[in-house]
């Protein structure tokens, strides 16, 4: 059963799984244009803050709560509503809802749980993993790793960075990912919040950025 759970998690969080994640930079595009991110070190610092104090942390909390409520439709609806409401900008909201909806559509062969058609990505992943018996801790850690990997991939194209530099950033983020995953284990929905204000502002300012390669 553990082997089957691992196979499913690897499939669902693979870059090849059609969620459209490659089209979103989570505000990184603006951060690169304004000079906040110029190399591997500044990218690592930016992503560390996003993971520990911003949307990475919030996504981990939402995922864990959806995982635990995977058989409770009313509870899942409440979590999904909250997840959509706390998005700090229009693009961030579209990013998480579009990916969540795409995830559920692509996961149809595995019979996903009953969720709103438009649902935040971490809620969809958490509920799906919980319904299929994929361990909560493993799902949370893998989700955060995939979150960081996708943003590093965007930065590799935007800065630009070499693939080796991107991989070095991913390696240095391992302790942060593990720390956020561990800290979110006891978090409840009332603990949602953050202070990665520069990242939130980047997401807002991206909406009116003159030249854009990404949707967010």
How confident is the model at residue 117, as a pLDDT?
A: 86
Under CATH, what is the fold of the domain 2-10+26-200?
Urease accessory protein UreF (1.10.4190)
Closest CA to 11 of 127, 80, 109, 101: 109
Question: Averaged over 27-33, what is the pLDDT?
Answer: 97
Question: Averaged over 65-78, what is the pLDDT?
Answer: 96
Question: Averaged over 165-192, what is the pLDDT?
Answer: 98
List the domain boundaries for the chain: 2-10+26-200
**pTM attached to this predicted model:** 0.97
Peptide bond into 160 cis (omega under 30): yes
Distance (Å, whole) CA 149 – CA 139 = 15
Rounded (10°) angle between helices 136-158 and 163-172: 150
Output the average pLDDT for the chain.
96
Q: Which helix (H) or strand (E) holds 130?
A: helix 121-131
């Amino acid at each position: 059963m553990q082997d089957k759970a691992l196979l499913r998690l690897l499939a669902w969080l693979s870059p090849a799984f059609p969620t459209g994640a490659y089209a979103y930079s989570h505000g990184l595009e603006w951060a690169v244009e304004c000079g906040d991110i110029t190399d591997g070190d500044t990218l690592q610092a930016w992503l560390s803050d996003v993971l520990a104090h911003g949307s990475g942390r919030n996504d981990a909390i939402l995922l864990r709560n959806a995982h635990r409520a995977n058989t409770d439709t009313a509870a899942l609806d409440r979590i999904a509503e909250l997840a959509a409401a706390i998005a700090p900008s229009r693009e961030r909201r579209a990013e998480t809802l579009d990916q969540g909806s795409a995830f559920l559509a692509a996961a149809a062969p595995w019979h996903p749980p009953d969720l709103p058609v438009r649902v935040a990505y971490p809620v969809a992943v958490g509920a799906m993993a919980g319904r299929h018996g994929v361990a909560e801790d493993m799902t949370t850690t893998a989700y955060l790793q995939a979150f960081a990997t996708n943003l590093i991939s965007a930065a590799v194209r935007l800065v630009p960075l070499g693939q080796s530099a991107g991989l070095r950033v991913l390696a240095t983020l391992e302790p942060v990912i593990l720390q956020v995953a561990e800290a979110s284990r006891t978090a409840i929905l009332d603990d949602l919040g953050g202070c990665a204000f520069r990242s939130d502002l980047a997401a807002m300012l991206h909406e009116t950025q003159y030249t854009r390669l990404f949707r967010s």
